[in-house]
Structure 1
Amino acid sequence: MRLVEMEAARQDWKGMLCGCGGSAEHLARDLLRLAGEGTDAESARRGLDLPELCRNVAAQGLWLLYGEVMANRSLVGAGTAFEILTVVEPDRARLHRVRELAADWLPVCCRTGLCDDDLWALDR
């Protein structure tokens, strides 16, 4: 849980635009709430799968993530959005095409496929 809190604190949530039209500041609270729910023993007994829940929530913002990659506002923003897409995007051909189009402003790990989550794709 402390790792999730630390990672959430590193992000500039106020500076990010959310699909709701406001800042993404509320997403940090939502993420932390889901991480407490997903790690306690009672939730595990109920079969709550935190990674799957997070994938489903992130997949709802698929086009926002693509928008962030293609906007080329910052290397960190584009890279983070692309890394999330490697986990939640089921259309691998679309993902590879965006990688080609955005290669000039993506971090090396995203350009080369080092950040791809192919294990998740194989689980599907």
Structure 2
Amino acid sequence: MTIEVEARMRLIDVEIDRYDWSTFECGCGKTAAHLADDLRLLAEAQSREGARALRIDDHALIQSFPQEPAVPVAAVLMAALSGDLAVGARVVCLDLLLRLVDTDDEDSAETCQSIARQGLWGLYRDLWSNTHPDLVIYAYLVLRVIETDEERLRTYRDSGRIQLPDHLAD
């Protein structure tokens, strides 16, 4: 196991361990105690299909309404995104993060946005990487919600390095 993978796993474990998941009501109707292991599996997933199969979104959100574990899930996603995830897992994390920062519950959305802003430069790294089109798109969409410096985001977007679909090049 490389140092980066070991560090990422420790970050995720520390962030997961900050919460008593059994005190949260999960989107599945049970306690969220199972989410701790599910989030670890998400970080270890080697494909988008494997990451999506965990259905963490169904536990943190019901449609666009955040459930009790939404904010802790956002924090764990940011810890996961700080490390070296497989592209598929990274895309799934960013997809879920987008839905957590842009929900129908303003309080939850604002808290998740604040959490995501703490990892702003990691999101710019994903945007700038051009590793995978979906990775770039989701990083950009999250940044559109959380970035308070619109000029900075516009500068990166218009740099010529980032490949975005025409409908996002506003």
Task: Return the alpha-carbon distance in structure 1 between the equivalents of residues 64 and 134 of structure 2.
Answer: 18
Residue in 2 aligned with 1:84?
142
Residues 30-109 of structure 1 aligned to structure 2 (within 5 Å): 49-102=107-160, 105-109=163-167
Name the structure with the higher helix share.
Answer: 1
SS in 2 for 1:105: coil
Distance 1:57 1:104, change over 3 A: closer
Distance 1:102 1:110, change over 3 A: farther
Matched with 2:55 is none
User: Identity rate of aligned residues, in percent?
Assistant: 29
Aligned length: 86
Q: Which TM-score applies when normalising by structure 1?
A: 0.55
Please, which runs of 5 or more residues in structure 2 have no aligned partner?
1-60, 66-79
Shift in Å, 1:89 = 0.6
Q: How large is the RMSD of aligned CA atoms in angstroms?
A: 3.4
Distance 1:102 1:4, change over 3 A: farther
In structure 2, give the amino acid aligned to 1:78: V
Matching residue's letter, 1:18: L
Gaps of 5+ in 1: 6-16, 114-124
1:98 counterpart SS class: helix
| Residue identity matched to 1:82 | Y
Q: What is the rounded CA distance, in whole Å, between the counterparts of 1:102 and 1:2 in structure 2?
A: 37
Task: Name the CA distance, whole Å, in 1 between partners of 2:125 and 2:148.
Answer: 17
3-state SS of paired residue (1:101): coil
Aligned residues of 1:69 and 1:102 also touching (Cα < 8 A): no
